[in-house]
Structure 1
Amino acid sequence: METTTLSFANLHQHGELFANMLRARKRSFIERRKWDLPISMGMEYDQYDTPASRWVVVHDENGDVLAGTRLTPTTAKCGIYTYMIRDAQRGLLDTIPQNLLWEEAPVHETEWESSRLFVHDKIPASERKGVYIRLVLELRKAARDLGATRCVALLSVALPRLIRRQGVIMTPIGPAVMIDGTLNNVVSMDLAYGRA
C-alpha cells in the first residue's frame, strides 16, 4: 500500500493516478451511493477540484486506487464557491443541510477542509479499517506539510471513533445530520498534536 499527495503541479509525475482517483470517486459516490454529481469521461468531479486543492490517494504499486480524499484551503475561492462545508452553510449546496455547524465556517490560511473521503468498495471488510487509518494519517501529514494546523471534514459519525487509537482526535463542531441515509457531522482535526 502506497500513498501519494497529488497537486496540479505534480500530476504529470504520477501517470493515470489522478484520473484513476476520479474514476474511483465515481464508483464510490455515483454508482454506490447514487449521488447526483457531474461525470465526464467516467470520472466524478465538482467545482472544488481546482488548482487550490490537493488529493491524498492510497493506492497499490500498479496505481489502483484504494482510497482518497481532497484537501482544500478554507481561503479558497472560485467564482461564488469557496469550500464545500462553508458553501453548504451559505445555502449554495442543496444536498447538504445549512445547519451543519454550530458556528460560522472557518476561513483561515492555516485551516483546510477534507472532502470526498472514500475507501473503494473492492477493499474487503477485514482490510477497510487499515485503509481508512492509512488515509487519515496521510491526510494529516499532507495537511501539516501545507502549513495547516487544523482540518475540518464532514464525515460519518463512526469514522472518528475508528481512528482515535492512532492519536488522531476529531472533535464534532456541528450537530449530527442525516445525508442520504447516513448520519454525519462536521469534525475538527487539530493537526498540532498527535503522532506525525
Structure 2
Amino acid sequence: MQTTTLSFANLHVHGELFANLFRARRQSFIIQKNWDLPEEMGMEFDQYDTPQSRWIAIHDMGQVLAGMRLTPTTARCGIYSYMIRDAQNGILGGSIPQDLLYAEAPVEESTWECSRVFVNHSTPQAIRRKVHFRMVEAMTGSARELGATRLIALTGANWPRWYGRCGLEAEAIGRSMWIDDADFQCVSINLASKLH
C-alpha cells in the first residue's frame, strides 16, 4: 500500500494515478452515493480541482483504495474560493445549506479545507482501518509540507466515533444537517500537535 500526494506540478511523474483517483471519486460519489456532480471520461471533478489544490491517493498495484482533496482557504478561481466558504456565501445554489458554520468561513494561510474524502467501495473490509490510518498520516504529512496547522471539513456527523481512534483532535464548527443522503457537520481538525 502506497500514499501519494499529487499536485499539478508532479502528476506527470505518477502515470495514471491522477486519472484513477478521479475515476474512483466518480465511483464513490456519482455511482455509489448517486450525487449529481460533473463527470467526463469516467471521472468526477468540480470547480475546486485546480492547481491550488492537492490530492492524496492511497493506492496499491494501480488500484485507488481511498483519497481526498486539500484546498487552501486562500484559494480563488473566478467566483469560487473553497467549497465550505462558497456554500456559506450562497454561491453553490443551496446544495449545501448556507448556515453550515457557526462563524464566518476562514481565509487563512494556515487553514486548508479537506474535501472529497472517500474510501473506494471495493477496498476490502479487512484493510479499511489500515487505510483510514494511512489517510490520516498522509493528510497530516501533507499539512506539514503545505504549512497548514488546521483543516476544516464537511464530514459525516458521526465523526466523533472515529476521529479519536485515528488520532485526530477535532471540534464541531457548525450544526449537524441532512444533505442528500446523510447527516453532515463541519469540523475543525487541529494539526498543530502533529507538526512536530
TM-score (norm 1): 0.95
Corresponding residue of 1:115: 115
**What residue number does 2:70 align with?**
71
| Structure 1 stretches lacking a partner, 5+ long | none
Count of residue pairs brought into register by the alignment: 195
Amino acid at match of 1:188: S
- Structure 1, 162-171 or 179-188: larger mean CA deviation: 162-171
> Mapping of 1:8-157 within 5 angstroms?
8-60=8-60, 62-93=61-92, 94-157=94-157
Matches of 1:179 and 1:140, distance apart in 2? 27
With 63-72 and 152-161 compared, the bigger mean Cα shift is at 152-161
Cα distance in 2 for partners of 1:116, 1:165 equals 21
Contact kept in structure 1, 2:111 and 2:152, CA below 8 Å: yes
Corresponding residue number in structure 2 for 1:182: 182
Give the aligned CA root-mean-square deviation in angstroms.
1.3
Corresponding residue of 1:173: 173
SS at 1:140 equivalent: helix
Letter of the aligned partner of 2:86 in structure 1? D
Deviations 1:138-188 (A, max 9, x none): 112101210001110011122342131332112111011111121111111
Paired position in structure 2 for 1:158: 158
Distance 2:119 2:80 in 1: 26
Report deviation, 1:195: 7.6
Unaligned segments of structure 2, at least 5 residues = none
For 1:84 and 1:133, how far apart are their aligned partners in 2? 25
Distance 2:50 2:160 in 1: 27
Contact 2:70 2:112 in 1 (8 A): yes
Q: Is the 8 A contact 1:30 1:36 kept in 2?
A: yes
C-alpha displacement of 1:80? 0.3
Q: One-letter code of the match for 1:39?
A: E
Distance in 1 between residues matched to 2:67 and 2:191, nearest whole Å? 19
Deviation at 1:105, TM superposition (A): 0.3
Q: Which amino acid aligns with 1:79?
A: G
SS at match of 2:62: coil
Specify the SS of the correspondent of 1:4.
strand
Give, in angstroms, the shift of residue 136 of structure 1: 2.1
Q: TM-score, normalised by structure 2?
A: 0.95
Q: What amino acid maps onto 1:53 in structure 2?
A: S
